[in-house]
């Protein structure tokens, strides 16, 4: 093995130093993955020249102050090439060689198999391909339209992920918003996991596709440092989004792997690693740092967060919770950190109320739900409080982005309208009947389902300060206001709307089924049956204490009615909360158990077996 080169400190490196830097990145990618016994050295080696030039000469970043709002952003969409980004962190001096070699992919260590924001220099978690560029669109939107600071967003993509539709959603929206501060660099190394990629080295087709989406395509030899440097410099002064298509060789720099199939995701055995390091010129310990944003570089204005005056509603007035969402969101817009996004249904979700009041902080993402969620994640990177809304059913299209948002530790707020069979004649394609289960399954999520306008407005305000992924399920139809303006609400809470010492059965609902449960309780009361009624507006976390108290008071007799498929919704939350109670339970679970069709809300609720009539029958059955 060659003798290590001595350490040197570099400001803006010359091109020969960049070449040495690239070789160091290759060597360290090999060393770290071989030591770990897993990883992607060849995917890292292909992009080493591009990243060396970027980090050494173009990325404006203060590595000692990653929170500086003037810093550029570097997003590794091809997160499997983590040996490369971690080798960069070593070269800039924020990760030691010992951590790189002994901490990579080890239990309890921060250099995980794919980058996550546990590291302060990582904005978003990547590894699920096709997500880094959409997230970058959100960061770039913040830079151009909100922060109004000329930082650039550099996104490193793999060529395999160019087959993902989300990449093209991102380029489409980047062009629509003219995000000239967004530069994607595609490592076109021709080889995917199991063999050649869809287009291989057909750079002309890549370029045509990029240009057709309104972005600027630049084709470059990804191993020609001078050509790379020129392309990066040109991207800094572009007037529209840039995509640099870098033709590279997977496993570049080592003759045994360069452009060879069968090496994706495979570390080199120790003897092979030794040969690779020798062929690459041996270990180096260059310390490389590029330009930093100086003290006179523009920084964004601090946020203003005045007191909020929420809309109030008369008791008994019929108001849809989706309408209350829009009105509360508009009220919340007095905070300059709050932004809203919608997927071309803002006149149904009523996020248009915010858009009319604060058009400079409202982003129309059109029918591109993956980009909708990704833009929210990117905006959260910059400290904004994003609310993203669409029909609840269509968040299922973006579910991978939602789960990755949780891994990114992003704080985003999602609002889904038109939930359940209650929406009526539109039919099942528009009915969210899986969304509660979907959102409950997201790590650390908060899932809220208000039953009236007052609770909806209060929960919108609360969501603004929640961490993680939060979800508000709103209802299409207008229903009576149940709560006065001073009624408190909180995640993990519930409301008991009917209670007596003689209660013999508990009726649990949320949203539309809460109103059906109240009607059922009135019918039962006329028969001399006292029913306790619980508004389970917080589905996650759930109010276990109130549920336990109700179960004890009513002899374990519980009816749960939900406008949702049986799996994973209200009843799942209720039974999970009572699972360890030791109480004998008699539960009737009313849910949508067959494929619905079109009809009036009343017809559909009744046909699904979740209307007041069916709740009454279930309660009577428990009491027989």
Nearest to 419 by CA among 451, 464, 385, 454: 451
Give the tokens for residue 448. Answer: 């809220």
Three-state SS sequence of 102-165 = HHCCCCCCCCCCCCCCCCCCCCCCCCCCCCHHHHHHHHHHHHHHHHCCCCCEEEEEECHHHHCH
∠ CA(41), CA(65), CA(289), 5° rounding? Answer: 50
Give the tokens for residue 393. Answer: 């059913």
Block residue for tokens 């109480």 = 583
Residue 448 contacts residue 491 (beta carbons within 8 Å): yes
Q: Tell me how long the chain is.
A: 624
Ramachandran category for residue 509: left, alpha or beta (phi over 0 → left; psi -120 to 50 → alpha): beta
528 CB-side CA count, 13 A: 0
Residue 408 contacts residue 369 (beta carbons within 8 Å): no
Q: Which sign, positive or negative, has the C-alpha torsion 251, 257, 259, 260?
A: negative
How far CA 374 is from CA of 336, 337, 440, 521, in Å, comes to 21, 18, 19, 43
Residue 464 contacts residue 385 (beta carbons within 8 Å): yes
**Distance of alpha carbon 592 from its chain centroid, rounded?**
29
Residue 197 contacts residue 257 (beta carbons within 8 Å): no
Alpha helices in 152-303 (DSSP H): 165-176, 203-212, 225-236, 270-279
Return d(Cα 615, Cα 447) in angstroms, integer. Answer: 24
334 Cβ contact partners less than 8 Å away, ≥ 6 residues apart: 306, 308
582 Cβ contact partners less than 8 Å away, ≥ 6 residues apart: none
Peptide bond into 541 cis (omega under 30): yes
Task: Write down the catalytic residue from 369, 422, 434, 562.
Answer: 369
Backbone angles phi, psi at 415, to 5 degrees: -125, 120
- Strands (E) in 426-527, as ranges, are 446-448, 469-473, 478-480, 495-498, 505-509
**Distance of alpha carbon 119 from its chain centroid, rounded?**
18
Give the tokens for residue 612. Answer: 């007041």
Residue 102 contacts residue 35 (beta carbons within 8 Å): yes
Helix (H) or strand (E) holding 9: strand 9-10
How far CA 502 is from CA of 531, 535, 619, in Å, comes to 8, 19, 15
Q: Which sign, positive or negative, has the C-alpha torsion 368, 184, 9, 223?
A: positive
**Distance of alpha carbon 217 from its chain centroid, rounded?**
28
Alpha helices in 14-59 (DSSP H): 15-36, 41-46, 48-57
Block residue for tokens 């590279």 = 248
Three-state DSSP state, 483: coil
Residue 369 annotated to the active site = yes
Catalytic residues: 369
């Amino acid at each position: 093995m060659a003798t290590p080169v001595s350490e040197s400190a570099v400001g803006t490196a010359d091109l020969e130093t960049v070449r040495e830097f690239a070789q160091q990145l290759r060597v360290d990618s090999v060393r770290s993955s071989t030591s770990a016994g897993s990883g992607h050295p060849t995917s890292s080696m292909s992009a080493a020249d591009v990243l060396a030039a970027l980090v050494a000469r173009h990325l404006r970043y203060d590595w000692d102050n990653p929170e500086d709002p003037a810093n550029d952003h570097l997003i590794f969409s091809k997160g499997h090439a983590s040996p490369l980004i971690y080798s960069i962190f070593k070269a800039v001096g924020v990760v030691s060689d010992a951590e790189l070699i002994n901490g990579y992919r080890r239990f309890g260590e921060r250099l995980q198999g794919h980058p996550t924001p546990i590291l302060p220099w990582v904005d978003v978690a990547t590894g699920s391909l096709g997500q880094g560029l959409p997230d970058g669109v959100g960061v770039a939107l913040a830079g151009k339209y909100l922060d109004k600071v000329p930082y650039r967003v550099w996104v490193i993509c793999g060529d395999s992920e160019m087959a993902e539709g989300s990449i093209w959603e991102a380029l489409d929206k980047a062009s629509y918003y003219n995000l000239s501060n967004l530069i994607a660099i595609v490592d076109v190394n021709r080889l995917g996991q199991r063999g050649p990629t869809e287009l291989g080295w057909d750079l002309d087709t890549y370029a045509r596709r990029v240009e057709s989406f309104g972005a600027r395509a630049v084709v470059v030899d990804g191993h020609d440092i001078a050509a790379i440097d020129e392309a990066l410099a040109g991207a800094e002064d572009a007037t529209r989004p840039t995509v640099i298509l870098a033709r590279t060789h997977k496993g570049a720099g080592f003759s045994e792997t360069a452009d060879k199939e069968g090496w994706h995701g495979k570390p080199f055995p120790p003897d092979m690693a030794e040969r690779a390091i020798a062929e690459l010129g041996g270990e180096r310990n260059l310390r490389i740092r590029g330009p930093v944003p100086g003290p006179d570089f523009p920084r964004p204005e601090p946020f203003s967060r005045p007191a909020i005056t929420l809309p109030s509603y008369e008791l008994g007035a019929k108001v849809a919770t989706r309408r209350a969402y829009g009105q509360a969101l508009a009220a919340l817009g007095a905070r300059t950190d709050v932004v809203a996004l919608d997927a071309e249904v803002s006149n149904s979700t009523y996020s248009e109320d915010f858009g009319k009041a604060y058009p400079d902080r409202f982003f129309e993402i059109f029918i591109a739900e993956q980009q909708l969620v990704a833009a929210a994640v990117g905006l959260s990177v910059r400290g904004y409080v994003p609310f993203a809304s669409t029909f609840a059913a269509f968040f299922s299209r973006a579910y991978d982005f939602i789960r990755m948002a949780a891994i990114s530790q992003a704080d985003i707020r999602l609002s889904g309208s038109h939930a359940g069979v209650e929406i009526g004649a539109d039919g099942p394609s528009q009915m969210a009947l899986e969304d509660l289960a979907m959102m409950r399954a997201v790590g650390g999520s908060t899932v809220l389902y208000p039953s009236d306008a007052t609770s909806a407005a209060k929960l919108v305000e609360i969501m603004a300060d929640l961490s993680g992924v939060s979800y508000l399920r709103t209802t299409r139809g207008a229903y009576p206001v149940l709560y006065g303006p001073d009624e408190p609400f909180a995640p993990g809470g519930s409301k008991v709307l009917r209670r007596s010492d003689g209660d013999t059965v508990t009726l649990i609902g949320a949203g539309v089924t809460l109103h059906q449960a109240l009607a059922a309780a009135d019918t039962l009361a006329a028969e001399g049956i006292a029913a306790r009624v619980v508004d389970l507006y917080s589905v996650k976390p759930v109010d276990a204490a109130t549920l336990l108290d109700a179960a004890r008071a009513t002899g374990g007799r519980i009816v749960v009615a939900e406008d949702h498929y049986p799996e994973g919704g209200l009843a799942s939350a209720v039974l999970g909360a009572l699972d360890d109670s030791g109480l004998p339970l008699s539960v009737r679970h009313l849910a949508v158990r067959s494929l619905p069709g079109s009809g009036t809300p009343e017809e559909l609720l009744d046909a699904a077996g979740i209307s007041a009539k069916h709740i009454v029958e279930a309660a009577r059955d428990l009491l027989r």
